[in-house]
């Protein structure tokens, strides 16, 4: 089973020891991005993975490729051009102080400036079963948007399973009107088999009237001929943070139990959930098992540092078996 993901690889610069940027002279580097997070997780869960992206043709690009290989992600579809890699700083939250992300000059990155014709989609899809496309590509440049659409079309034509994550970030779309963004999402969705998102993506972005989750999901799936719609949420219950997820398929809505989470590093939780759901679909698990697995992966990821989930199936099954109550392993 081989999974390809298309999206931007970014450099994450984390301020250490829960300090604020203003207090620190050092940062820790890591290679992240939706595709890296998802595939890093899926490669730890036992699947072959490769990322389709564009990185700078310099030492930064080489560093990124080395990090990808270390995570078990093949760099055979990584292309090199330009000289800029998108990056963001992270100030970790603590207690009620939220985590903060500060993006830097992303639109001039090699990925955002790569011409769609530079990718040979057909050849890259040849040995692939699942394709994952990050919705952020629809918010970046005309080039990333066109490339995402071409890839989705080609993948559907070649009968691959197409997964798409809405990943809609209002902050990235302040200069683009609601109707333009809606149109962009509506353009790609007909090629999608498995969509990841939230009910708000359907009501606030795609303008579905708020007539209850079951009805909204049904209309959305019928309109775009989507097979699965899954999503997750980090919410609050009795003053504790809880993570939960759902999957909708053929008129049935399955919901996980909420699982308490003591967040160390919030970023990457939804990608961990998505990789858990994709694992469950590949393995044909029942929906309760799939959701339990995906939520456990997301909780453990948010209780560890960095975006990329690196838990294997044993880690996750052990965690589920002891209901997250084991506090020492291998003693």
Residues 89-148, interacting with ligand ELE (CB under 6 A): 136
- Comparing CB distances to ligand ELE, the nearer of 97 and 215 is 97
- Comparing CB distances to ligand ELE, the nearer of 8 and 244 is 8
DSSP β-ladder status, 10-14 and 161-165:
unpaired
What are the DSSP E strand ranges found in 193-258?
194-196, 228-237, 240-249, 252-255
* Contacting range for ligand ELE; rule: CB under 6 A; set: 196-204, 236-244, 269-277, 286-294: 269-277
Among the listed residues 138, 104, 105, 133, the one whose alpha carbon sits nearest the alpha carbon of residue 121 = 133
Shortest CB 247 distance to ligand ELE, Å: 17
- Comparing CB distances to ligand ELE, the nearer of 61 and 325 is 61
DSSP β-ladder status, 161-165 and 78-80:
unpaired
Q: Which of 3, 11, 15, 33 binds ligand ELE (CB under 6 A)?
A: 33
* Alpha carbon distance 4, 158 (integer Å): 14
Per rule CB under 6 A, is residue 269 in the interface with ligand ELE? yes
* Alpha carbon distance 312, 293 (integer Å): 11
Per rule CB under 6 A, is residue 231 in the interface with ligand ELE? no
Running DSSP on this structure, what letter comes out for residue 94? Answer: B
Q: Which of 67, 75, 201, 307 binds ligand ELE (CB under 6 A)?
A: 307
Per rule CB under 6 A, is residue 265 in the interface with ligand ELE? no
Among the listed residues 241, 291, 230, the one whose alpha carbon sits nearest the alpha carbon of residue 265 = 241
* Contacting range for ligand ELE; rule: CB under 6 A; set: 73-81, 197-205, 218-226, 267-275: 267-275
* Alpha carbon distance 38, 196 (integer Å): 12
Per rule CB under 6 A, is residue 270 in the interface with ligand ELE? yes
HSE value, Cβ hemisphere, 13 Å, CA-based, for 132: 27
- Comparing CB distances to ligand ELE, the nearer of 121 and 168 is 168
- Comparing CB distances to ligand ELE, the nearer of 236 and 250 is 236
Q: Which residues bind ligand ELE (CB under 6 A)?
A: 8, 10, 33-34, 37, 136, 267-271, 307
């Amino acid at each position: 089973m081989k999974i390809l993901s298309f999206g931007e690889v970014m450099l994450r610069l984390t301020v250490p020891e829960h300090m604020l940027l203003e207090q620190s002279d050092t940062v820790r580097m890591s290679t992240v991005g939706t595709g890296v997070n998802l595939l890093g997780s899926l490669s730890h869960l036992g699947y072959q993975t490769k990322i389709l992206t564009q990185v700078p043709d310099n030492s930064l690009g080489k560093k990124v490729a080395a990090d990808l290989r270390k995570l078990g992600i093949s760099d055979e579809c990584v292309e090199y051009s330009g000289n800029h890699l998108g990056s963001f700083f992270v100030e970790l939250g603590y207690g009620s102080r939220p985590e903060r992300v500060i993006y830097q000059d992303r639109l001039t990155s090699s990925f955002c400036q790569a011409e769609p014709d530079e990718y040979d989609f057909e050849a890259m899809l040849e040995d692939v079963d699942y394709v994952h496309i990050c919705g952020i590509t629809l918010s970046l440049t005309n080039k990333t948007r066109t490339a995402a659409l071409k890839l989705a079309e080609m993948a559907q034509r070649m009968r691959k399973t197409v997964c798409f994550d809405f990943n809609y970030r209002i902050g990235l779309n302040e200069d683009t009107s609601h109707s333009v963004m809606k149109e962009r999402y509506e353009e790609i969705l007909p090629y999608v088999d498995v969509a990841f998102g939230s009910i708000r993506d359907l009501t606030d972005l795609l303008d579905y009237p708020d007539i209850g989750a079951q009805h909204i999901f049904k209309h959305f799936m019928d309109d775009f001929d989507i097979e699965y719609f899954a999503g997750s949420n980090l919410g609050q219950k009795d003053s504790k943070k809880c993570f939960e997820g759902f999957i909708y398929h053929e008129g049935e809505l399955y919901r996980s139990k909420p699982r308490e989470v003591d967040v160390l590093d919030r970023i990457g939780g939804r990608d961990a959930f998505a990789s858990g759901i994709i694992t469950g679909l590949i393995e044909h698990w029942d929906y309760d098992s799939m959701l339990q697995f995906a939520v456990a992966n997301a909780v453990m990821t948010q209780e560890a540092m960095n975006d990329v989930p690196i838990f294997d199936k044993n880690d996750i099954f052990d965690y589920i078996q002891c209901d997250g109550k084991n506090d020492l392993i291998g003693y």
